[in-house]
Amino acid sequence: MRRLLALAIVTVPAVSSAGPRPQAVMANPAVLKDQVILARYGRAGISLDGMLPADSDHAKADTYFKTFRAAEETADHVRVLVEDDQARVLVWLDRTDLAWTVARPVRVLGTDDAGVWVLPGAPLTVSGDGDRVAIRTDDDDLAIDGTIARSALRHRFRAPTRAPRAATHNVGAIARAPGGPPLLPLDHAIGVTVRDGGVPGWSLVEHQSARLRIVGWARTDDLFEGGMLTLGTGGGFGYGMSDTDRVTLDAGACMFDEQGAIVGVQLARGERYAGHLGGGRWSVYVGIPWGLHQVIVRDRNRGKGDPAWARCR
């Protein structure tokens, strides 16, 4: 069950880098090109001054790195687009709750032909001071430790437009050079493709996922055919309330903040817990991964007959 979060929906001025108009975002999220990665569930809010800590159940249970499209930012906060609970809604987060990544492929391990590159969207755990810092990233069961220039770290990234090539072989060991030391420790086989440029007894191989690109040398006799499949996982949360009014919203019903700015849209016809504010305005609850938050919807008929919910225009 979600814990009920009381939220005052008030917008405050802030110096920000704004993106496309909210109407365009609600109609087509793809207009938001940049993404960010959530590292932890901290505060969130429909408005900057209404940010509240995440529901403790979510902070403990939902620990996967998740990506969100970035709509706007200030020096200390980022506004992201969240799709959950049959709604698309703009939510402010603290920048400190975001994971570091890179905006372009960056080598973090190896030299010459062999190396490991982290790709845009790979969540990085960063430690150390100075111009070059230590990083760690995980891709399924594969953990990579390396170093990176601090100046290469970014919160925003653009996802690659092309999917990685499908692996054709598996291999359990990759070296820095033919006959050389291991490039990285492997305790299980990974999928690779064989590149041109091998030498007798050794093949130059490449492994690429959504987060990593690895190039190194494998004994040709150690290669065996058959790529490996990467699987993802996900989850969700439900909520309920008693002694609360409800309204049924149509798909396309627009959601607003207290000042009348567009902050969300209903994606499918459904019922929501609500409170009547008068003048055709209702405060309704939207469940997002941080907990329950409130937005406002408008009945253009002001309670006379069937509701006619205002749409995002």
In this predicted model, what pLDDT tens digit does every residue of 179-207 receive, in sequence order? 999 999 888 899 999 998 889 999 999 99
Q: Tell me: the pLDDT tens digits for 143-172?
A: 899 999 999 999 999 988 777 778 899 999
Question: From CA 155, how far away is CA 102, in angstroms rounded?
Answer: 7
Sign for the pseudo-dihedral over CA of 52, 56, 62, 64: positive
Other beta carbons within 10 angstroms of residue 147's beta carbon come to 12
Q: Tell me how many degrees the CA angle 122-128-132 measures, rounded to the nearest 5.
A: 70
- Range 163-186 burial, b when 16+ CB lie within 10 A, else e: ebeebebbbebbbbbbeeeebbeb
CA–CA separation, 207 and 218 (whole Å): 12
For 287, residues 6+ apart whose C-beta sits below 8 A from its C-beta are: 2, 84, 85, 237, 238, 239
Predicted TM-score (pTM) of this structure: 0.83
Distance CA 280, CA 308 (A): 10
Label residue 125 by pLDDT band (50, 70, 90). Answer: very high
Question: 160 forms bridges with which residues in the sheet?
Answer: none
Q: How confident is the model at residue 230 (pLDDT cuts 50, 70, 90)?
A: very low
Q: What CA–CA distance (Å, rounded) separates 116 from 106?
A: 8
Q: How does pLDDT run across 247-293, given as a tens digit for each residue?
A: 999 999 999 999 999 999 999 999 999 999 999 999 999 999 999 99
> Cα 306 vs. chain centroid, distance in angstroms?
38
- Tens digits of per-residue pLDDT, 29-81? 999 999 999 999 999 999 999 999 998 666 655 656 899 999 999 999 999 99
